Amino acid sequence: MTADTGSTRPWDIVLFGASGFVGKLIAKTLADVAPTGLRWAIAGRSPAKLRELHGAIEPRLGEPAIGVIEADVDRPASISAMAAATRVLLTTVGPYVRWGEPVASACVEAGTHYLDLTGEPAYVAGLVARLHERAQRRGVALVPCCGFDSIPTDMGVFYTVGLLPQGVPIEVRGYMQGNGSASGGTLASALGIVGDRTPNVGRTIAPSTSEDGRSIGPVRQGPHRSRALGCWALPLPTIDPSIALRSAGMLGRYGPDFRYGHYIAQRWLPMAVATAVGGGLLIGAAKLPPVARLLTRLRPPGTGPSAERRAESWFRFRFVGEGGGRRVITEIRGGDPGYDETSKMVAESAILLAQGGEREGGVLTPASALGQALVDRLGEVGLGLRQIEG
């Protein structure tokens, strides 16, 4: 069995978890950017909330009208039916380590491509370990991390590598700056990441040697000053570098030996020190159950930052790439990273996946699944990658 890329199913895209905080934003984005003729539906466990959302966005659309599907991860039959009704299923229902794999597994069984917004390393490692080979055999693309985790990093590295000579060792370093607030769902996922102690997660996602024998791994450098960018840098322990390295393992363009380093950037050394100390204290405190429960009460699932707060948020990634005696510096920047821009990133990814024909199956990355087409689409929605030096 292979993924159903024809038009025999009623929907091209189903958005599962549409009535949640980020789900509503994605639904409104899809209503704005979906091409004419795209058939899509919203799905979730609360019919009342789905009807309310449908009423808010339906008048903005022409034909075909969007659908409404009731589905709940606690009712496996409803998940299977939902997956079988669409070519692409986009889920926002997290924490994914708890609720993601049943949805992904149903997609593999139904021959349906899958996307999500996870930033949970243990979850992605589980997908690789348990579903990658089965998805490969069935031609199903499972594409996690299609939001701020990890599209700016993954596509930024992809773009930077494309500007460097081919067939040579390549090293790229990514430096992130920005601010933003978390929703209740993001907070719940983050607390799960903090408490996870699964060993060798990064190597499960991105082995040190690709299938064709190329060497892949991290840049092993701690806090440092980047002369190229004029900033202080601290290692940023997110899932992003693992996703970028997984792309390198899947795409030969990254060269025979590829290294990537991932950092948070601060202009001044005292700020860098304060960031390191404050981050360490917060992570340590969040591991205590009473603190975790307090944080959850302060920002429960389904809530998130206001439109005014999001309007003040921003991000910028700069990438320094070197290979074959050449150095380039590239950049991607945008507004609110976790919600407004994430909605654009994942909506465009889902549309591209729905529009494509036969695809390689397995647990893929945004770069390995969508490549230059996604770079182009990001540019059209205000998230363009550009070369600023070299």
| Per-residue pLDDT tens digits for 104-144 | 999 999 999 999 999 999 999 999 999 999 999 999 999 99
Choose one of 321, 336, 351: the last residue of a domain: 336
Q: Is the pLDDT of residue 287 over 80?
A: no
Residue range 199-223: mean pLDDT, rounded: 89
Same domain? 269 vs 320: yes
Q: How many domains does the chain have?
A: 2
Answer for the pair 216, 209: CB distance below 8 angstroms, yes or no: yes
- C-alpha closest to that of 15 among 98, 86, 78: 86
**Taking 90 as the threshold, does the pLDDT of residue 251 lie above it?**
yes
Domain assignment present for residue 6? The answer is no
Contact of 243 with 145, CB cutoff 8 Å: yes
Mean pLDDT confidence for 83-94? 97
Joined tokens for residue 74: 């606690």
Q: State the Cα–Cα distance between residues 17 and 96, nearest whole angstrom.
A: 12
Statement to judge: residues 77 and 110 lie in one domain: yes
Q: Provide the pLDDT confidence category of residue 64 given band limits of 50, 70 and 90.
A: low
Same-domain check for residues 83 and 165:
no
pLDDT at 183: 47
Structure tokens at 204: 């499960």
Whether residue 164 sits in one domain with residue 281? yes
SS (H, E, C) the chain: CCCCCCCCCCEEEEEECCCCHHHHHHHHHHHHHCCCCCCEEEEECCHHHHHHHHHHHHHHCCCCCCEEEECCCCCHHHHHHHHHCEEEEEECCCCHHHHHHHHHHHHHHHCCEEEECCCCHHHHHHHHHHHHHHHHHHCCEEECCCECCEHHHHHHHHHHHCCCCCCCCEEEEEEEEEECCCCHHHHHHHHHHHHCCCCCHHHHHCCCECCCCCEEEECCCCCEEECCCCEEEEECCCCHHHHHHHHHHHCHHHCCEEEEEEEEEECCHHHHHHHHHHHHHHHHHHCCHHHHHHHHHHCCCCCCCCHHHHHCCEEEEEEEEEECCEEEEEEEEECCCCCHHHHHHHHHHHHHHHHCCCCCCEECCHHHHHHHHHHHHHHHCCCCCEEEEC
The verdict on 37 and 48 lying in the same domain is yes
The boundaries of the domain holding residue 28 are 11-148+341-375
180 and 305 share one domain: yes
Q: At what angle do helices 366-380 and 151-161 cross, to 10 degrees?
A: 90
**Does any domain span residue 380?**
no
Per-residue confidence (pLDDT) for residue 91, from 0 to 100? 98
Report the pLDDT averaged over residues 165-186.
Answer: 83
> What CATH number should be reported for the domain holding residue 365?
3.40.50.720
Q: Are residues 166 and 74 in the same domain?
A: no
On whether residue 167 sits in a domain, the answer given is yes
Q: What is the pTM of this model?
A: 0.89
**Distance (Å, rounded) from C-alpha 311 to C-alpha 43?**
28
Using pLDDT thresholds of 50, 70 and 90, give the confidence band for residue 57: confident
- Is the CB of residue 94 less than 8 Å from the CB of residue 193? no
Task: Based on the fold, state whether residues 242 and 208 are members of the same structural domain.
Answer: yes
Q: Flag the least confident range among 5-9, 102-106, 280-284, 315-319.
A: 280-284
Mean pLDDT of 362-368: 98
**What mean pLDDT comes out for the span 6-15?**
88
The whole-number pLDDT of residue 390 equals: 77
Q: Average pLDDT, stretch 218-241?
A: 93
Do 134 and 230 lie in a common domain? no
Q: Is the pLDDT of residue 286 over 80?
A: no
Same domain, 220 and 233: yes
- Amino acid letter for position 305: P
Q: What is the pLDDT of residue 184?
A: 47
Question: Beta strand 231-235 with 224-226: parallel, antiparallel or unpaired?
Answer: antiparallel
| Nearest-5° Cα angle at 215, 212 to 216 | 110
**Residue 382 covered by a domain:** no
Count of positions (residues) in the chain: 390
Q: Does 80 lie in the same domain as 45?
A: yes
pLDDT at 306: 87
Tens of pLDDT, residue by residue over 17-51, are: 999 999 999 999 999 999 988 999 999 999 999 99
Per the domain annotation, does 384 fall within a domain? Answer: no
Domain membership of residue 3 (yes or no) is no
Q: What is the largest CA-CA distance in the chain?
A: 60
pLDDT-derived band at 65, boundaries 50, 70, 90: confident
Please report whether residue 352 resides in a domain: yes
Is residue 161 assigned to a domain?
yes
Residue identified by tokens 């700069």 is 318
Among residues 336, 360, 383, the one where a domain terminates is 336
Is the model's pLDDT at 357 over the cut of 80? no
